[in-house]
Amino acid sequence: MATQSYENALQVIQSLSASDRKRLLEELTAQTAAGTEPAEEHSIMEICGLGKEIWEGIDAQEYVRNERASWNG
């Protein structure tokens, strides 16, 4: 039944002028946004230490020295 309603809505929408379709889209977008909860805010500090196991046993100064040496070929 919902599919039939959807198909009927599509037919009505297709019969609208371009400006009315735009107005409808704006209204649907506003209604959809109003019905959603705001995204949870996060802090950059949540990723502190992420991936630290990748760097275990690697000397930071030696790594930087090797990287800089690779820049000159």
Q: How long, in residues, is the chain?
A: 73
pTM: 0.43
Stretch (H or E) spanning 45: none
**Residue-range domain boundaries for the chain:** 1-35
36-69 tens-digit pLDDT = 777 889 999 999 999 999 999 999 999 999 999 9
Phi, psi for 60 (deg, rounded to 5): -60, -45
Measured CA to CA, the distance from residue 21 to residue 14 in angstroms comes to 8
Question: How high is the pLDDT of residue 61?
Answer: 95
Question: Residue written as tokens 């735009």?
Answer: 22
pLDDT at 19: 95
Give the separation between CA 24 and CA 19, rounded to whole angstroms: 9
pLDDT tier at 26, thresholds 50, 70, 90:
very high
Q: Residue 24's CB: how many other CB atoms inside 10 A?
A: 14
Strand spans (E) along the chain: none
